Structure 1
Amino acid sequence: MNGAKILGIILILAGVLGVATGGFSFTQETHKASLGPINLSVAEEKKVNIPLWASIAAIVAGAAVLVVGSKR
């Protein structure tokens, strides 16, 4: 397998994951206050949405890379 095929497969997989999940979430811990030796922190869960058009574009781009890579 050459680099173009690997890139095409990665793009297709990323696009399919984006369509299936719609995004991902992560936890960010922030330090809100510090009173002497006591530190108060808050864990916030944030969600990152992946637009549907971006996922579909990744699938189309991956397919195009596979087609162009197979012609060479």
Structure 2
Amino acid sequence: MSTVKIMAIVLIIAGILGLVYGGFSYTRETQETKIGPFELSIKDKQTVNVPVWAGVMAIAAGGGLLLFASKKS
């Protein structure tokens, strides 16, 4: 399987996941303080929304790459 076909499949899967889930969230530590034996850290939860148009464009680009790769072979 060529690299172009693998990239096309990855784009299609990423586009489908973007449409199904609509976004993802992650947690990061923003501040950490140590006062003697005590330790304080703040964890901040971030959410990233994936626009619908980005998912559709990823699927279309992956499909276009698959068509291009199959015609070239």
| TM-score category (smaller protein) | 0.7 to 0.9
Q: Which residue of 1 aligns with 2:15?
A: 15
2:38 corresponds to which letter in structure 1? I
CA distance in 1, matches of 2:30, 2:5: 42
Match of 2:67 in 1: 67
Q: What whole-Å deviation, never above 9, does each CA across 1:1-45 have from its counterpart, x for those lacking one?
A: 111111111100000000001111011112254434433211121
Identity %: 46
When normalised by structure 1's length, the TM-score is: 0.87
Alignment size in residue pairs: 72
In structure 2, the gaps of 5 or more residues are none
Equivalent residue runs for 1:1-72 within 5 Å? 1-31=1-31, 33-72=33-72
Gaps of 5+ in 1: none
